Amino acid sequence: MTYEIKHHLTEAVVMAYSAGTLPEAFNLLVAAHISMCDECRALVAAHEFVGGAILEDCEEIALSDDALEACFSKIETGAKDQILVPATPVSSQNENSVLPQPLQDYVGGDLDAVKWRKVGGGVQQAILRTSKEATVRLLRIPGGCEVPDHGHHGTEMTLVLQGAFRDEFSEFRAGDVEICDADVEHTPIALEGEDCICLAATDARLKFAGFLPKIAQPFLRI
Ligand code: ZN
Ligand code: ZN
C-alpha cells in the first residue's frame, strides 16, 4: 500500500481491544485495521506485553504451575492465539485482495463473495454476522455519492478498504479509521473515482436527520 495511513485507532480503543472487552463487531474492525497498519499493530503488541506483565505481578491468585511460562511464551510468539489478529502481516496477503484477512474469514472470500443489498441512492451494504451488542457492515458507495446526513446514538467506527470519502472533518483513504461519538453529525461523501468500500461498526442505531432516511432505517438496520 503506497498511501500512508493518517487516521488511526485511539489509545482507548487499542486498550479495550487488547483487554478483550470490545464487542465482536468492533473487534473485527480493529483486527482489520491492524492487519493494514504496522503502527497500530505495534501498539497492540505493546499493550499485550503490558497485560502479561500485570499478570506476572498477581502472585496471590492461584494459577496453574505453567501459567506464567505459558504467558511468556504467548508474548514471545506475538500472542498469535488471539483469533482475530492475523499471524502474517498484510504484505503476505494476495496483492489484489480488497478485504483484509480477518474480514475474508467472515465473508468467506474476497469482495466477490460479499452478498450486497441495495439500500438506496446507489449505496449497497452487507451486514456481517456478529454478536448482537453491536453491528458491523460493509458499505459500497459509488464515487460522488453521499451517505445520508446522520448523527449517532453511540459510537460509530468506519474503516476504509478501497477508494476514499470525506466529511466535514477530514478525508479518509484505504486503511484510515474514523471514530464518531454520539454528539457527532456528519455527511460522508465518497470521492469521485472507484467505489468507496468501507467497514462500519456501530454500537447503537444511527439516528438520521432527514425524514426519508428515517423511514428507510428499519431496512438499513443501521
Ligand atoms: Zn493505525
Ligand atoms: Zn456516521
Most confident of 98-102, 209-213, 218-222: 98-102
Domains 11-81 and 107-220 share a fold: no
Ligand 1 centre to CA of 34 (Å) is: 6
Name the band, by pLDDT with cuts 50, 70 and 90, for residue 76.
low
Grouping H, G, I as helix, E, B as strand and the rest as coil, residue 4 is coil
- Domain coordinates in residue numbering, the chain: 11-81, 107-220
Residue 30: pLDDT over 70: yes
Grid cell digits, residue 127: 451486514
Sheet with strand 164-166: strands edge to edge: 171-173, 164-166, 189-190
Grid cell digits, residue 153: 446514538
Grouping H, G, I as helix, E, B as strand and the rest as coil, residue 162 is strand
Say which ligand is closest to the CA of 38.
Answer: 1
Ligand 1 centre to CA of 74 (Å) is: 23
Ligand 2 centre to CA of 114 (Å) is: 22
Report the predicted TM-score, pTM, of the whole model to 2 decimal places: 0.76
Q: How many CA atoms lie within 13 A of 113 on its CB side?
A: 12
Q: What percent of the chain has pLDDT over 70?
A: 73
| Nearest partner of 110 among 127, 125, 96, 130, judged by Cα | 96
Count CB neighbours of 45 within 10 A.
15
The pLDDT of 134-148, averaged and rounded, is 91
Ligand 1 centre to CA of 105 (Å) is: 21
What pLDDT, on a 0 to 100 scale, did the predictor assign at position 28? 97
What pLDDT, on a 0 to 100 scale, did the predictor assign at position 211? 44
CATH number of 11-81: 1.10.10.1320
Ligand 2 centre to CA of 213 (Å) is: 13
Ligand 2 centre to CA of 107 (Å) is: 23
Architecture in CATH of 107-220? Sandwich (2.60)
User: CA quadruple 125, 128, 129, 135: dihedral positive or negative?
Assistant: negative
- Given a contact cutoff of 8 angstroms between Cβ atoms, the answer to whether 165 and 132 are in contact is no
The pLDDT of 190-199, averaged and rounded, is 96
Instruction: Measure the CA–CA gap between 91 and 213, rounded to whole angstroms.
Output: 40
